[in-house]
Amino acid sequence: MKKQKTKLITSIGGQALMEGIMMRGPQKCTMAVRKSDGSIELEEVHPLNWAKKYPLLRLPLIRGVVNMIDSLVTGEKALMRSADKVLEGMEDGEEEEEKPSKLDIWLNDHFSDKMINVIMAASTVIAVLFCIGVFYFVPTWLYNLTTGWLTFMTQPVLGMERFWQSAYEGVIRIILFLVYMCLCTLNKDVKRVFQYHGAEHKTIFCYEYGLELTVENVRKQIRFHPRCGTSFMVLMLIVGIIIGLFIPINHPFIRPLVKFCLLPVTVGIGYELIKICGKHDNLVTRIIAAPGVWMQHITTKEPDDQMIEVAIQAMKDVIPENGEDRIG
């Protein structure tokens, strides 16, 4: 479909949920979920809204970190709530009761409920640390492992060692991110979430083009939006490569630790770039947004009409009457 000229740009954004979508406008945040009985239920979500309460947190670079924390907390809350809503409408006997695993039985036999909660919390911390280790330490470790070969290959290019290291680490991180996203698509539940993700983008585009929010109009839109969270993640990876050029440390432990400590800087810069790409449509912004838009071929899928209906309901509930969501 040939892209139409956007009549307006909205600040309204969204997130795909379990059988639903959360839309966040300037005045309210609403989640719409398709329940097991086929009905669509709307429920207001209450974000942290730190930036609204404290003007200092709206400053450039700072606002990126604040908004990311807000989005993660609010999104996780909405995701868990959507899962509950999907199960609420199930009739007795519609789904077989899941049998406890051998591990669950062993834990219940040997530990109290309080201790099990502690174990689960510790497992979560270990999982997060493992992800940080893989994403930050593995690329630097691999670079040091192959540093002799890289030095030989780049020897004619004097003074470029830091560039090659940062580029090498960045490419490895992008590959890890790409592989992870591809593996996620193998799960049927995640694939449905990606379809709702596509419905969210299409609905926002339909609204930005000034078209009536109908299933037919939404269906015609493209599903790749420059203000997507996927694009934000990819921009952070690219910004991380640039920041790595200014870290004169090659130690396999200290270098990734410094890069991790600079994550707020990466987030802040990435957020400003994604805002620029969402507000302006020109050659420069299209080049900046291109890697993230390409990645959306994986994280967004074509939705069915029922998914589009859910997105429309969520969208309509957050559109302000005074048009204060319009940023362009």
3-state SS, residue 208? helix
Query: Taking a C-beta distance cutoff of 8 angstroms, is the pair 218, 312 a contact?
Result: yes
3-state SS, residue 73? helix
- Asked whether residue 216 is assigned to any structural domain, the reply reads no
Best CA proximity match to 117, nearest among 102, 129, 107: 107
For residue 323, pLDDT over 90 is answered with: no
Q: What is the spatial distance between Cα 313 and Cα 195, in angstroms, rounded to a whole number? A: 16
- Asked whether residue 201 is assigned to any structural domain, the reply reads no
Residue-number span of the structural domain to which 134 is assigned: 112-184+224-299
Q: What is the pLDDT of residue 251?
A: 84
- Asked whether residue 32 is assigned to any structural domain, the reply reads no
Q: What is the pLDDT of residue 99?
A: 60
Q: What is the pLDDT of residue 224?
A: 94
- Give the DSSP H or E segment for 200: helix 188-208
Averaged pLDDT for residues 230-250: 91
Confidence of residue 2 (pLDDT cuts 50, 70, 90): very low
Averaged pLDDT for residues 143-156: 62
- Asked whether residue 210 is assigned to any structural domain, the reply reads no
More confident residue, 61 or 101: 61
Extract the tokens encoding 51. 């930036």
3-state SS, residue 135? helix
Averaged pLDDT for residues 277-281: 86
- Asked whether residue 164 is assigned to any structural domain, the reply reads yes
For the chain, what is the domain count? 1
Averaged pLDDT for residues 84-100: 62
CA neighbours closer than 13 Å in the CB half-sphere of residue 283? 0
- Asked whether residue 242 is assigned to any structural domain, the reply reads yes
